[in-house]
Amino acid sequence: MTPKLPLYFDYNATTPVDERVLEAMLPFFGEDFGNPSSRSHAFGWKAEAAVEVARQQVAELIGATPQEITWTAGATESNNLAIKGACEMYRDKGRHIITCSTEHRAVLDPCAALAKAGWQVTHLPVDEAGRVDPAKVEAAITDQTVLISIMAANNETGTLHPLAEIGRIAKQAGVLLHTDATQAAGKIPLAVESLGVALLSLSAHKLYGPKGVGCLYVRRRSPRVRLAKQMHGGSHERGLRSGTLNVPGIVGLGAAAEIAGNELTDDAERLVALRDRLDEGVRSQLPEVQLNGHPTERLCNTANLSFAYVEGEALMMKLSSLAVSSGSACMSASREPSHVLKAMGVPDALANAAIRFSLGRPTTVEEIDFAIGAIVQAVRELRAISPLYELAREGIDPTRLQ
């Protein structure tokens, strides 16, 4: 039986709101519409209580305390608050930041803005699997280093960084470690104490919550982290982030975090099996398909595959029955090869032939099997009209031709 088309394989871009999350949110659009800052009546009290329940739910997902959770509009704002806020607060210590060449633009761009303002930014390389070497992190630290920002999991390849080891290095050096955990939250266990992170960003819409809401974990002890506010206009969120709180969104993020924590192990086991079924099913039928990213230290739901002698944009047009991505959703309009794959040393021809398949909670075996058939057929059809593939079959290396 053919599943209902098109099929969604772009869960790293966004996820549907879980029905249980929506159910928790609905009262706060109408009946319980109060402003949590209105502390003189029951409408405000009820909204404030709901916000604090959500703070507890998110804190439990990452092993933090509720007081360490600051609400934001999403991971991009959280990253900006963490990076710019830490650098402004600790600028008297030094003016050096360490980050990674495969970070999301929500980290790279704030670092670039600080570089224009006179900060020194070190962009660490990654190996061919997309991982940062902790030894290189340690070697890059100077007496001027204020902050290290390394993502927990890459959004394009799913590669996991050795964050706990980096955290130990940062703590020994007395440097703050920030991690963008947007893709990792709800997919792998996250415990801020064992990871040694001082700041952690996440977003609701990546874990079956609503769009437009996220949070930033800010460590309160060993060490207590202070940030310079980046948004002014009131004393909300202990003065760190002004603006009336998005109560329905925050309730949704809390519910999504609680569900993700309760179902993480079962979800991960199921998604690994589906991801590997897709990967093996495609590569068993097609030659010259490369997996981009670490083979094992990778998110349970992500497979980034390059199809040699096929142009990625043409392949996505052929795969009209599948919603897939050629990289980050924020950069999908760009025709440039993925900066993540280029940093990993993937040749431009293969980087331009890369497709990211990211699975989610609703993905089924039937959808995976349909996708395998569609991918194999599309690649075979495109290779059949590719002169480069013909040359390769004749034993001629097309990359050596001028």
Q: Which residues are catalytic?
A: 330
Q: Which two tokens stand for residue 157?
A: 């390849």
Give the single-character DSSP code of 304.
Answer: E
Q: Which two tokens stand for residue 199?
A: 């700041």
Q: Which two tokens stand for residue 4?
A: 């209902």
Main-chain phi, psi angles of 122, to 5 degrees? -100, 120
What burial class does residue 103 get, using C-beta atoms within 10 Å of its C-beta: 0-12 exposed, 13-18 middle, 19+ buried? buried
| Residue 385, amino acid | I
Among 50, 24, 47, 25, smallest CA distance to 35 is for 47
Q: Is 178 helix (H, G, I), strand (E, B) or coil?
A: strand
| H-only helix segments in 73-185 | 75-89, 105-116, 134-140, 163-173
Length of the chain: 402
Among 186, 127, 180, 178, smallest CA distance to 153 is for 180
CA dihedral 13→18→21→23, nearest 10 degrees, is 140
Per DSSP, the residues of 13-82 read T--PPPHHHHHHHGGGGTTT---TT-TTSHHHHHHHHHHHHHHHHHHHHHT--GGGEEEESSHHHHHHHH
Cα–Cα distances in angstroms (integers) from residue 297 to residues 153, 160, 272, 314, in the given order: 9, 5, 12, 30
| Residue 122, amino acid | T
354 Rama class: left (phi>0) / alpha (psi -120 to 50) / beta: beta
Q: Which two tokens stand for residue 237?
A: 């969120």
Q: Is the distance from CB of 199 to CB of 220 less than 8 angstroms? A: no
Question: What residue has token string 């609400």?
Answer: 71
